[in-house]
Amino acid sequence: MNGAMLFFRSNILRLCLSVIILGGILFPLMGSQPIIFPHLKGKFAPERVGTKLSERYLASEHMLYAKTIHYAEVCTWYGAVRFAEASGKEELLQKLIARFEPLLDNRRDLLPLIGYKENFNNYVDFNMFGCLPLELYRITGRKVFFDIGIPYADSQWSLPDFATEKHREYLRKGFTWQTRLWIDDMYMITVVQAKAYQVTGDVKYIDRAAKEMVYYLEKLQRPNGLFYHAPDVPFYWARGNGWMSAGMAELLCYLPDNHECRAYIMEAYRKMMETLKLYQHEDGMWGQLVDRENIWPETSGSAMFVYAVITGIKQGWLDSEVYMDVAMKGWKSLVSYINDKGDLTEICVGTGKKNSESYYYERPRKAGDFHGQGPMLWCAAALIEK
């Protein structure tokens, strides 16, 4: 063998050895490769679905509660903003920002009140509004959005003038004075505190959300991972469970890997996902009561479950070989419930607790309700976010 050939082969060996060594160093630092979702085409394409629902939202009137923006609209608006950014639709994003502009000026009366005294049970519903201006601040850098959004996060851990001893006791223990142990709280509180952490880097916000989540999980999660609508109402209502699944997924996206609460919350999340997988109907949906087979499929809760599963797969918390079919069946089935106007159908209307199974079976259903439009936009965004 001539010298040139020996030189060539020795350099090839050195190169291969270098690749192996570098691979051993770099690949663990890089972590696992991102999960590749199936390319969804036609009516199932998240870009198409998200655009249709976002345009439908922009054409709608504001949904109000106590004469201010309703939390369900915030969920939809927030989802549309996430989708517009993820899909690179700058024109859509600007329209969504423009919809907020009047709230900075002549329609400030539409901003939810902080510390709304007349109805304690709805405090968290008002405060979660803060996630929207904080998300707009993250995208635009406009301080006016920060100045509107951050008080909604801060006031959850600042006692109002009318605080009771119960409120003070919760705060002394490190929980928000707004604690009420309702399952939807764990999306409403989590989303605004996590977003405040994202835009400030101040760990107090994520610590608050994590500690609150652990408290709710300890008090409310059942052995099968699901949640009763209330301690005295032993029914697994879909949308209530959806708030918990989405709230845990949202929190885990921001919670540092070394946070003391992460392992507990992750275990609770995976336990819930395992049970939801078992109760998914053949067509990909979940029932109005999750563990009932002979009940109508409910779309808002189903969309929240699909969002939680998509997020878990993308983040590597769930085995894609096990859960990809759950996500894809759920997404495709949900898309089939969107009518020509861009309204998701079969959405359970606003529902308080009641210790009656027939109550849940007989709840009215509505098309285009923001309780369902929002979670579908979360799903569309999650499918295309990097």
Residues listed for the chain: 386
| pLDDT tens digit sequence for 318-368 | 999 999 999 999 999 999 999 999 999 999 999 999 999 999 999 999 999
Average predicted confidence (pLDDT) for the chain: 91
Q: What is the spatial distance between Cα 143 and Cα 228, in angstroms, rounded to a whole number?
A: 41
Banded model confidence at residue 37, pLDDT cuts 50, 70, 90: confident
Banded model confidence at residue 100, pLDDT cuts 50, 70, 90: very high
Over range 367-381, report the average pLDDT.
98
pLDDT of the residue at 360: 97
Q: What is the spatial distance between Cα 16 and Cα 315, in angstroms, rounded to a whole number?
A: 31
User: Is the confidence at residue 30, as pLDDT, over 70?
Assistant: no
User: Is the confidence at residue 4, as pLDDT, over 60?
Assistant: no
User: Is the confidence at residue 67, as pLDDT, over 90?
Assistant: yes
pLDDT of the residue at 33: 56
| pLDDT tens digit sequence for 110-165 | 999 887 777 666 689 999 999 999 999 999 999 999 999 999 999 999 999 889 99
pLDDT of the residue at 120: 62
Banded model confidence at residue 2, pLDDT cuts 50, 70, 90: very low
| pLDDT tens digit sequence for 150-204 | 999 999 999 998 899 999 999 999 999 999 999 999 999 999 999 999 999 999 9
Measured between alpha carbons, how far is residue 129 from residues 26, 96, 195 in Å? 41, 15, 11
User: Is the confidence at residue 317, as pLDDT, over 60?
Assistant: yes
Q: What is the spatial distance between Cα 282 and Cα 65, in angstroms, rounded to a whole number?
A: 37
Strands 365-366 vs 347-348: parallel, antiparallel or unpaired:
antiparallel
| pLDDT tens digit sequence for 292-315 | 989 999 999 999 999 999 999 999
The first and second tokens of residue 189, run together, are 């509180």
Q: How many CA atoms lie within 13 A of 20 on its CB side?
A: 6
Q: What is the spatial distance between Cα 152 and Cα 116, in angstroms, rounded to a whole number?
A: 12
Q: Which residues contact 149 (CB under 8 A, 6 or more apart)?
A: 130, 131, 132, 133, 134, 136, 137, 192, 195, 196
Domain boundaries, the chain: 32-384
Over range 235-245, report the average pLDDT.
98
Q: What is the spatial distance between Cα 370 and Cα 378, in angstroms, rounded to a whole number?
A: 12
Lowest mean pLDDT among 58-62, 82-86, 117-121: 117-121
Banded model confidence at residue 283, pLDDT cuts 50, 70, 90: very high
pLDDT of the residue at 80: 98
Per CATH, domain 32-384 is 1.50.10.10? yes
Q: What is the spatial distance between Cα 280 and Cα 303, in angstroms, rounded to a whole number?
A: 12
pLDDT of the residue at 34: 63
Q: What is the spatial distance between Cα 154 and Cα 193, in angstroms, rounded to a whole number?
A: 8
Question: What percentage of the chain has pLDDT greater than the value 90?
Answer: 85
pLDDT of the residue at 96: 98
Banded model confidence at residue 31, pLDDT cuts 50, 70, 90: very low
Helix ranges, the chain (H) = 3-30, 46-58, 71-87, 90-100, 123-127, 131-140, 143-154, 165-172, 185-200, 203-220, 238-254, 262-279, 299-315, 320-335, 357-361, 370-384
Return the sign of the alpha-carbon dihedral for residues 92, 191, 35, 309: negative
pLDDT of the residue at 24: 37
